[in-house]
Structure 1
Amino acid sequence: MNIRREELAKGTLSSTNDMLSGLLALRDENHQPLADDIITDNFILLFVASHDTSATLMSLMIWKLSRDPEVYKKVLEEQMEIIKQREGTEDRLTWAEIQKMKYTWRVAQELMRMIPPLFDTFRQALKDTNFQGYDIPKGWQVYWAACGTHMNNEIFKNPNKFDPSRFDNPPKPIPSFSYLPFGGGLHYCLGNEFARVETLTTIHNFVKMCEWSQVNPEETITRQPMPYPSMGLPIKIKPKCNLS
């Protein structure tokens, strides 16, 4: 980091060149550079938040589509219809096409409800408060777990049933801070839209180009601490002959 700092100071490197340069160029409220441990913590967090969570969701999608023929059929039909309606010779996804992948994203949403990539986290009470009869003093760390609301029958009817349609015009609005795969409030994940586009793009190309099956059909999901296929999700892949 010291070499990078020198390059920034000399003007031979821009603070917009990459994430590390941007962090090194930041100044706190006293106009002092950030400490190395703060930069390191944030850099590692960015790796985890932008890679591990998205990779987890895409793995869960492949796992689910391998095990549920009905869901796979609907996802495949939606993706093939998008290709069928494509005009001209352009073979790349467009933003408008990604917006049409409503059912595929509903599958992802339901997976994140039942097997949330972010299972829990802590928040600090900013003032003395009371929740359901419990006093929580200012400064205390409050632990929340997504399953407390994700699997609550009063919020999601039949919570143990995999039902992507529950996110498609639900009979009653999902209460705020009840569906939390990307957190909530001021700390809501800034990468939620990136994760959606990344996941939909990957699944689109995967179902378009390949057929696959699990090597271990009985494979379950464990946590390490993120949800992870217990056997590493080995699959047998066969390319499709007709990619149109």
Structure 2
Amino acid sequence: MLVLWIGALTFIIYITHWVYHWRNPRCNGKLPPGSMGFPFLGEAFQFFKSNATNDVPPFVKERMERYGPVFKTSIMGRPVIVSADPDLNHFVFLQEGQLFQSWYPDTFTELFGRQNVASFQGFMYKYLKNMVLSLFGPESLKNMLPEVERTDCRRLQQWSIQETVELKEATAAMIFHLTAKKLISYDEENATQKLRENFVAFMKGLISFPLKIPGAAYYKCLQGRKNAMKMLKNLLNERQAMPRKSRSDFFDFVLEELQKEGTTLTEKIALDLMFVLLFARFETTSLALTFAVKFLSDNPSVLKKLREEHETILRNRENTDSGLTWKEYKSMTYTFQFINETVRLANIVPVIFRKALREIQFKGYTIPAGWAVMVCPPAVHLNPTKYKDPLTFNPSRWEGVEINGATKNFMAFGGGMRFCVGADFSKVQMAVFLHCLVTKYKEGQITRCFIFANTLCVREQETKTHQNLEPSFRWEPVKGGNILRTPGLQFPGGFHIRLMEIN
């Protein structure tokens, strides 16, 4: 009996000692304040807890109020320094490759592939980045602009004859169709197997609690990726069996690279890259567009200024039948302010991870080597000392502000050497869609112009003067529009709209 008591006491002492060291990690200096939560799990449940606010996520906001803008935590057993400090964020991005490197939790890596572009460093990352820029760089976008406009106008026309349209789903389908066509010449509408369905399943479980149990969101996410990768692999095999004489899409570029002697590209890397590009382009941009239309419907004065800018573009055209030009696109000053304000408040990317390569001192605190650093863009974008009334939608706050990349106070597209290579493509998609939405789309010789006044009117024009337009259609929200963050942004009930003919 005495032996059992001694054994039990020893076990209790060991566990108590272990828990103490879990909650008080060793450090050569002073760790930021904070809690490490429960052993193994850390504060994962609190981190993944859903909320319906446009404000700083409760997980971060509550700890900022208690500990300040830099604090420690643990998520799924991983020690993490959370940064809501613009100076630390800037330092992390600036020192990537020197003091920090890109890092994401094992669950994220499992979802996006062990050899996805976010996992690579140095030369390999730059190599893949240049590959992507060959498709989504400014020169390619200039050539893509007319097709983006035609696609947007055609989709708007299709929506006008439907009873209702769920905007998030509709814009996601539109963008996926265009992106898949440019990447792999894939026609979703005529394909026997629907590639996007697998991406939708993948998206629903992204940034969810990692339970590999059938029926769980994370499990469905894994299955969606598995099925999508199988389809991409089959498409690549078909292209390899029947190569094209000239390059017409990104698959052709990949095949050229795979055939080069001494190439660093592998088929696995190429497929993981393709998966990330398809997902990132349609999902993030469709969320931003849904948010944008919601903001327009709630802010008539913003709509008025946006519409005036785009009608000016139409009036200044020598040929009213011509499509949108690159010069016109670059002249959309207020539109870009509107886009900046939309992505600032949307905070589609709620966290950005890096890992400390060695021990780092910052403002009296120590970041131990090997610890993750979680940059929190919402805390920066909603900082009242930098943005007056930060929860108010006000595109004019960007007047006179030139942003060509990330800054200390704006990181909607990431920052540093990993600034989103698809940022320009997303801006083109948003700007052109808004242009079509608030001005016109063509159907034969008829030009229909969309305007809002709590509702969206489609005006038909038989002449080329853009005057005396009589409303023929109107737009109105039907239901939905509420958001949920888990912590990624979602519209659980969708955002349903209706385009109707006015009798």
Question: Could you tell me the TM-score, scaled by structure 1's length?
Answer: 0.81
Tell me which residue corresponds to 1:227: 489
**Structure 1 runs not aligned, ≥5 long:** none
Number of aligned pairs? 235
Work out the CA distance in 1 between the residues paired with 2:255 and 2:358: 33
Q: Secondary structure at the match of 1:159?
A: coil
Is the CA contact (8 Å cut-off) linking 2:481 and 2:493 kept in structure 1?
A: yes
Residues 78-105 of structure 1 deviation map (CA, whole Å, 9 limit, x = unaligned): 1112111211243311111112221122
Q: Aligned partner of 1:231: which letter?
A: G
Residue 72 in 1 paired to residue 303 in 2?
yes
Residues 137-156 of structure 1 mapped to structure 2, 5 A cutoff? 137-156=368-387
Residues 156-235 of structure 1 mapped to structure 2, 5 A cutoff? 156-169=387-400, 176-208=407-439, 209-210=449-450, 211=456, 212-216=475-479, 219-223=481-485, 226-235=488-497
Which of these residues, 60, 63, 76, is aligned with residue 294 of structure 2? Answer: 63
Q: Aligned partner of 1:47: which letter?
A: L
Residue 34 in 1 paired to residue 266 in 2?
yes
The CA RMSD measured in Å over matched residues stands at: 3.2
Is the CA contact (8 Å cut-off) linking 1:119 and 1:147 kept in structure 2?
A: yes
Q: Secondary structure at the match of 1:234?
A: strand
**Structure 2 runs not aligned, ≥5 long:** 1-232, 440-448, 451-455, 457-474
Tell me which residue corresponds to 1:97: 328
1:189 deviation in Å?
Answer: 0.7
Is the CA contact (8 Å cut-off) linking 1:24 and 1:33 kept in structure 2?
A: no
Q: Secondary structure at the match of 2:366?
A: strand
Work out the CA distance in 2 between the residues paired with 1:197 and 1:59: 15
Question: Could you tell me the TM-score, scaled by structure 2's length?
Answer: 0.42
> Percent of counterpart pairs with the same letter?
29
Higher relative contact order at CA 8 Å, sep ≥6: structure 1 or structure 2?
2
Distance 1:114 1:33, change over 3 A: closer
Q: Aligned partner of 2:383: which letter?
A: N
Work out the CA distance in 2 between the residues paired with 1:76 and 1:55: 21
Q: Aligned partner of 2:478: which letter?
A: V
Is the CA contact (8 Å cut-off) linking 2:481 and 2:495 kept in structure 1?
A: yes
Higher percent of residues as helix = 2
